[in-house]
Amino acid sequence: MTYDFDLFIIGAGSAGLAAAKQAAQYGVKVAIAEQQELGGCCVNRGCIPKKLMVFAADFAAAMQEAEAYGWEPCTANFHWQKFQHKRDRELQRLRQVQKDSLTQAGVHILQGHTQFVDPQTVQVNRQRYTARHVLLAVGGKPIKPDISGIEYTLTSDDFFNLQQLPKRIAIIGGGYIGVEFASVLRGFGCEVTIMNHEACILEGFDDDVRSRVRDGLIQRGIQSLCNTTTNHITQTSDGICLQLTGDCPETLVVDQVLCATGRAPNLEGLGLDAAGVEFDPKAIAVDEHSRTSQPHIYAVGDCTSRKQLTPVARTEGQNAVDAMFGSQVAPLDYHLVPSAVLSRPEVASVGLTESQARDKFDQVNSHCKEFIPLRDRLTPHAQPSFIKVVVDQASDRLLGIHMVGEHAAEIVQSVAIALHANVSYHQLMHTIGIHPSSGEELLSL
């Protein structure tokens, strides 16, 4: 049978773009369809705009700390709309870069909603196309819990388009999205309350990391309410009123409420039933090579139940293309993927937490260190950085590395290779670092 395309990709986010460029190198005919903007969540509503916000908020702290280094006190005003304009200009530049690279690679770009007609046919804006292979890279979207008055809340997607910053904000959810927005908004001078129904924020991270990040948020003036959530939200003349339940059963009135309680895959209207693809409300079912229940249809990125990280999505997309047109690569090892939280203090982690390690190994050593980075030693409110290395005592093998503090993401991703290479704790400790730096502290535990 002759097909219109060798590969049809639905979704032009991180995974879809990486897959399209990889497929073009095989010399096959590729199409990619996107109903919103090129770049997906990461470029338009996630990693990139969020980190630009982090940078913007950091300038406020830097100006306050400058006096400790001999600078005269200075005052400055932050203009949210001016920042939005500059941010959006950069995002548009990134979208154009992606479009140009696809065009140069010979990828056919389609704009519009895509759905399956049958396992080999998709429809975009009433036009039908057949494909030998299909890659689903449709990403995810923020979701809201079923709470009375939830319509008065914002999601992270909504927040980027706010016309002005709120003076008071409540954040429902203590995962990485909630913690990152709490840090940024406090840096902009907002009164921030973050609540979560767990005993501490950042569920899934090492317990020592979680407690230290929460302490850091509180030190910066953020109200952190754990074992607490809301069951009723109303709009009043004074603002948005939340009735809290749990450990802090009080009433909270704010200007805006950000709902950061998780994400779900973008599966509505895809016609997966027509394609014979198995799925549930939480994810598309895939095997270790990203194949769905239809062998010629693959799914990667946030529409599956694996790690929701941009580098993971890119790698999944590239590996799926290799499996289609080249040689099948080894399954991705999700246990050794580093991750970071763009909070203040910053968090980074790779490998097993101490608790996970103790569940899997008989004897585990945990080597910890707390220190004040040199940059902060002249400032009046310095917060210690923290490093933990988790080791299997029997083999001296590194199991996990966790850090809270200055440059955590850059440091941890640099040493993630040590876990991949089965480097021993002894070998790591005999590596000579650079002085003076925060990174050298990891090499002297």
Tell me how far apart the alpha carbons of residues 128 and 117 are, in angstroms, rounded to a whole number: 8
Residue 69, pLDDT above cutoff 90: yes
Structural domain span for residue 198: 150-261
Per-residue pLDDT, 414: 95
Per-residue pLDDT, 349: 98
Q: What is the CA radius of gyration of the chain?
A: 24
Q: Assign 228 a pLDDT band (cuts: 50, 70, 90).
A: very high
- 294-333 per-position pLDDT tens digit: 999 999 999 999 999 999 999 999 999 999 999 888 999 9
The set of catalytic residues is 435
Tell me how far apart the alpha carbons of residues 284 and 281 are, in angstroms, rounded to a whole number: 8
Of 306, 334, 362, the residue that ends a domain is 334
Q: What is the total count of domains within the chain?
A: 3
Contact 332, 312 (CB under 8 A): yes
CATH assignment of the domain containing 281: 3.50.50.60
Q: What is the mean pLDDT of residues 343-362?
A: 97
Of 334, 355, 372, the residue that ends a domain is 334
Q: Assign 381 a pLDDT band (cuts: 50, 70, 90).
A: confident
Per-residue pLDDT, 329: 87
- 101 and 228 part of one domain: no
Does the residue 339 lie in any domain? no
Look at strands 347-351 and 397-404 and give their pairing. Answer: antiparallel
Per-residue pLDDT, 76: 85
Helix axes 80-104, 47-66, angle to 10 degrees: 140
Helix axes 176-187, 47-66, angle to 10 degrees: 40
Does the residue 299 lie in any domain? yes
Tell me how far apart the alpha carbons of residues 339 and 349 are, in angstroms, rounded to a whole number: 6
- 251 and 128 part of one domain: no
- 274 and 376 part of one domain: no
Residue 387, phi then psi, degrees to nearest 5: -130, 135
- 288 and 224 part of one domain: no
Q: What is the mean pLDDT of residues 66-85?
A: 92
Per-residue pLDDT, 204: 96
- Please state, for a pLDDT cut of 70, what percent of the chain lies above it: 100
Tell me how far apart the alpha carbons of residues 387 and 402 are, in angstroms, rounded to a whole number: 6
- 49 and 71 part of one domain: yes
- 20 and 129 part of one domain: yes
- 295 and 401 part of one domain: no
Q: Assign 361 a pLDDT band (cuts: 50, 70, 90).
A: very high
Q: What is the mean pLDDT of residues 159-176?
A: 96
Q: By C-alpha distance, which of 170, 177, 114, 117 is closest to 143? A: 177
Tell me how far apart the alpha carbons of residues 367 and 105 are, in angstroms, rounded to a whole number: 48
- 353 and 439 part of one domain: yes
Residue 128, phi then psi, degrees to nearest 5: -100, 145
Q: What is the mean pLDDT of residues 329-346?
A: 94
Q: Assign 243 a pLDDT band (cuts: 50, 70, 90).
A: very high
Per-residue pLDDT, 281: 80
Tell me how far apart the alpha carbons of residues 1 and 24 are, in angstroms, rounded to a whole number: 21
335 token code pair: 């246990």
Which is more confidently placed, 391 or 77? 391
Name the residue with tokens 């696809």. 102
Per-residue pLDDT, 144: 96
Q: Assign 380 a pLDDT band (cuts: 50, 70, 90).
A: confident
Per-residue pLDDT, 74: 81
Tell me the whole-structure pTM to 2 decimals: 0.95
Of 243, 261, 279, the residue that ends a domain is 261
Does the residue 286 lie in any domain? yes
Q: What is the mean pLDDT of residues 65-85?
A: 92
- 127 and 156 part of one domain: no
Does the residue 340 lie in any domain? no
How far is CA 409 from each of CA 16, 108, 124, 277, rounded to the nearest angstrom?
Answer: 25, 36, 40, 37
- 269 and 257 part of one domain: no
- 99 and 203 part of one domain: no
- 189 and 295 part of one domain: no
Does the residue 123 lie in any domain? yes
SS3 153: coil
- 122-148 per-position pLDDT tens digit: 999 999 999 999 999 999 999 999 999
Mean per-residue pLDDT over the chain, rounded: 96
Helix axes 14-24, 310-325, angle to 10 degrees: 30
Does the residue 157 lie in any domain? yes
Contact 397, 424 (CB under 8 A): yes
Tell me how far apart the alpha carbons of residues 373 and 413 are, in angstroms, rounded to a whole number: 19
CATH assignment of the domain containing 362: 3.30.390.30
Contact 230, 244 (CB under 8 A): yes
Tell me how far apart the alpha carbons of residues 99 and 193 are, in angstroms, rounded to a whole number: 40
